[in-house]
Amino acid sequence: MNPARAFEARTLLFVPGDRPERFAKAVASGTDCICIDLEDAVASDRKAAARAEVMQYLQQRQGGPFVCIRANGLRTAEGLRDLLALLEVPPPDAVLLPKTESAQELQLASEVAGDGRLRWIALIESAQGLRNADDIVLHSPHLAALMFGGVDFSVDIGAAFQWESLLYARQKLVCAAALKGLPLIDVPFLDLDRPEALAEETRRVAALGFACKSAIHPRQVADIHLALRPTDAQLDKARRIVEAAEAAGGGVFTVDGKMVDAPVIAGARRTLALAPR
């Protein structure tokens, strides 16, 4: 792993850890990040076999997209086995820690890993995790990103898995991630037969401040990328703002008769980051 590799993904595609034949297919989908799942996607009697497959993949992989591994929860024996196994192979770009509820969990995981060897994506899936989101962001070492686990969260609070029920949690996580400028990943859209609804939800979470939408099937990847793509006019304006900022060398200036300062420049750079790759 390159320790400096930032999480800049627009899409995170889940793939079951016990289906190694799907790993290459996930990479070929064009996703910016693949997340190999050792937790929910793997039956309890397949955990050891899946762990062995994932460790072999990490031993052999060369380049490609950002790779994260969703470990089992650190409060479980399987999660501890996952963590120890990851210390014996070339590390992934990040480890997705499910059901994160406190900064202490990530502090302990980092102490076990040692020397910043592993970086983390904290998956917030409960009311307790949401309550502690600010503290998790501010006091967790080696945190690469934050993710909203909306399905488990809705079960935890007894709410329907729908936009209105999850809006508050999404907004709170946007504010928490912003405390450290962390990218924020949204829960997958579960209905594979409604690409228009997937695109609409992707645009809505992007407007809230999410940087990435997770996916459960390769065919969702292109739809998410297209939904996140700025218009040609937006890209043109963003380029002109960034070019004018570089020419000005600092301070406040105008583009198209409107004042431009540091926050506007930062927004223009975010827009350019969403250009087709």
Binding site, annotated residues for Mg(2+): 125, 152
> Would you give the distance in Å from CA 97 to the centre of its chain?
11
Buried/exposed 9-23: b ≥16 CB within 10 Å, e otherwise: bbbbbbbbbbbbebb
Burial class (CB in 10 A: 0-12, 13-18, 19+), 211: buried
Say if residues 87 and 117 touch (Cβ distance below 8 Å): yes
Binding-site residue set: 70, 125, 152
Give the residue carrying structure tokens 């989908």: 29
The dihedrals phi and psi of 85, each to the nearest 5 degrees, come to -65, -40
Over 82-121, what HEC string results?
Answer: HHHHHCCCCCCCEEEECCCCCHHHHHHHHHHHCCCCCCEE
β-bridge pairing 120-124 and 184-186: unpaired
Name 68's bridge partners: 35, 94
Binding-site residue set for substrate: 70, 125
